[in-house]
Amino acid sequence: MRNLAVLEPVNIVLFGLVAFVVLPAPLNTVNVTGFVLVAVHLLIGGAYWAIKVRQVRARLPRPPMIAAFRWLRRLCEAALVAGFVVLAVAAARGEMGLGSVPGVLFSLLAVAEYVNYFHWQLSHQTSADLTRLLRTRRVHRSHLYLDMRAHRD
């Protein structure tokens, strides 16, 4: 959990460096929008794992500030809708081309991160999660989803 709390924000920096420095993708509307969408989701994911670590270490009955994630879920949903409106407008204006591929991929990754955190666990970094996936052969509800459901205020 501690690794995830650190790695999610680190991934923002890595994705930005790869996309905008190594490639370098143009700083157009599509690429910046997609990058911002995925960055927001990774920040929220890192924040969740940080509070989960705090809960476990302090042996708290519930993750601190878990109620804030209900609001953050709505924020993420609104951001995804707004982001896809921006992408649709850019496409309608003919601004989407090969140089916009990173932004489209970032937008799709943001959707995957939204699902991974707020609904179904799509990524399995721990051996326990991977073992459960292999044993049951199906995805399970995400840890954040389960915490939000268990700790309704």
- Percent of all residues in the chain with a pLDDT value above 70, rounded to a whole number: 95
Least confident of 12-16, 37-41, 111-115, 137-141: 137-141
Domain boundaries, the chain: 1-151
Of residues 74, 51, 48, 63, the one with CA closest to residue 150: 63
pLDDT tens figures, 5-50:
899 999 999 999 999 999 999 999 999 999 999 999 999 999 999 9
Residue 75: count other Cβ atoms within 10 Å of its Cβ: 13
d(CA 118, CA 146): 9
The pLDDT of 124-147, averaged and rounded, is: 80
Residue 131 has pLDDT above 90, yes or no: no
pLDDT band at 124 (very low <50, low <70, confident <90, very high): low
What global pTM score does this model have? 0.88
Burial class (CB in 10 A: 0-12, 13-18, 19+), 125: exposed
